[in-house]
Amino acid sequence: MTNTQERPRDVGVSLEPPELPEVERYSRGRRHEIEARVRDGTLVRLRTGVYGPRVVEDSVAKRVQARMLQQVRAAVERLRGEFWFSHVTAAVLWGCWTWKSDGLVHLTELSNPSIRRSSERMMRRHWTPLPQRDRSSINGIPVTSLERTAVDCARMLRPGPALVVLDAALRKRADRRLMATILEESRGKRGVRQARELLPLAVATSESPGESIVRWVALDAGLRPPSTAIPVVTEIGKFWVDLGWEDLKIGIEFDGEEKYSGKYGEPAEVRRQERERQAALERDGWIILRFRWDDFLDLDTIAEEVRRALAHRHAPAK
């Protein structure tokens, strides 16, 4: 939760497009050096003639994304012809949040490339007409447009991860009406029904993938959709609760890595301020539930905690 008078749109987890990593091209003059580095594990083969450093990250999600970006860079180096990075890969390149990504590189092409899937373990090729409207580029890298990317993800992914991408796309100012048009043009194709159901549920006010996931947990449990970015005035100032039900004074806070990364001040001081804000909200009658990434290992437990809070509010007064 933040205590700015007007909540700025750039508060929250970054939506900046990532930079592609450097890679190394094979050459006869460097053959022995490259082979030695592959043997000792400091270099990995990405595609024929393209190598990259071994990925070292402190979380599975970061490792998956880093390896995907390596594969994207390798594809840019080696592939020829017209293609656009698409689906989850394009979402990552746009800077959208993702959740539970399998790390595969998705390409959309205009005709069947006739390439055996087994020969490209880390790549999935899609061939379909792609209107000029749905073609774009980021730093010279061909990608599907932000709206087309969000629709493709909403059709292909499971509902929770799909909602995370949709929220991020809207936060990046994707055109919801254009997404609806793309869906209408895709009538009869796989996943369109799911995407149509999810699009009205997506919001531009979610500030992190964690908030989007918690909101999906509530929706999937059949609960009333929670509001996002709720302004609350307390005795010590005005705060913004991540999401919840204002009429019931039930708030949900997501404590992600960004909040205590140092971006918003010394982590110990940020935690102290959080405790003060939570105490002020509770004195004002709010129930505040807090979740972290570790809690997403058991979504049912999150749903049950939210149900208990709602049941407490609906219980008759003694």
Both 98 and 240 in a single domain? no
Both 29 and 165 in a single domain? yes
Give me the number of domains the chain comprises: 2
pLDDT at 5 over 50: no
Mean pLDDT value of segment 284-307: 95
Q: How confident is the model at residue 8 (pLDDT cuts 50, 70, 90)?
A: very low
Residue 269 is predicted with a pLDDT of 86
Tell me which residue range forms the domain holding 253: 210-314
pLDDT at 114 over 70: no
Higher per-residue confidence, 58 vs 161:
161
Q: How confident is the model at residue 45 (pLDDT cuts 50, 70, 90)?
A: very high
CATH of the domain at 227: 3.40.960.10
Q: How confident is the model at residue 279 (pLDDT cuts 50, 70, 90)?
A: very high
Both 219 and 252 in a single domain? yes
Higher per-residue confidence, 4 vs 187:
187
pLDDT in tens, 66-106: 999 999 999 999 998 899 999 999 999 999 999 999 999 99
Mean pLDDT value of segment 193-204: 97
Q: How confident is the model at residue 315 (pLDDT cuts 50, 70, 90)?
A: low
Q: Which of 204, 227, 250 is the last residue of a domain?
A: 204
Residue 202 is predicted with a pLDDT of 97
Higher per-residue confidence, 40 vs 270:
40
pLDDT at 134 over 90: yes
Mean pLDDT value of segment 185-191: 95
pLDDT at 46 over 80: yes
Q: Which of 145, 172, 204 is the last residue of a domain?
A: 204
194 falls within a domain? yes
Residues 6+ apart with CB under 8 A from 183: 151, 192, 195, 196, 199
Taking all residues of the chain, what is their mean pLDDT, rounded to a whole number?
90
Q: What share of the chain in percent tops pLDDT 70?
A: 90
10 falls within a domain? no
pLDDT at 18 over 80: yes
- The pTM of this model reads 0.89
Both 68 and 133 in a single domain? yes
Both 144 and 33 in a single domain? yes
5 falls within a domain? no
pLDDT at 232 over 70: yes
Mean pLDDT value of segment 202-215: 95
Mean pLDDT value of segment 298-316: 88
Mean pLDDT value of segment 125-147: 96
Mean pLDDT value of segment 185-211: 96
Residue 9 is predicted with a pLDDT of 47
pLDDT at 264 over 90: no
Q: How confident is the model at residue 234 (pLDDT cuts 50, 70, 90)?
A: very high
Q: Which of 184, 204, 224 is the last residue of a domain?
A: 204
Q: What share of the chain in percent tops pLDDT 90?
A: 79
Mean pLDDT value of segment 38-45: 94
pLDDT at 128 over 70: yes
216 falls within a domain? yes
Mean pLDDT value of segment 279-307: 95
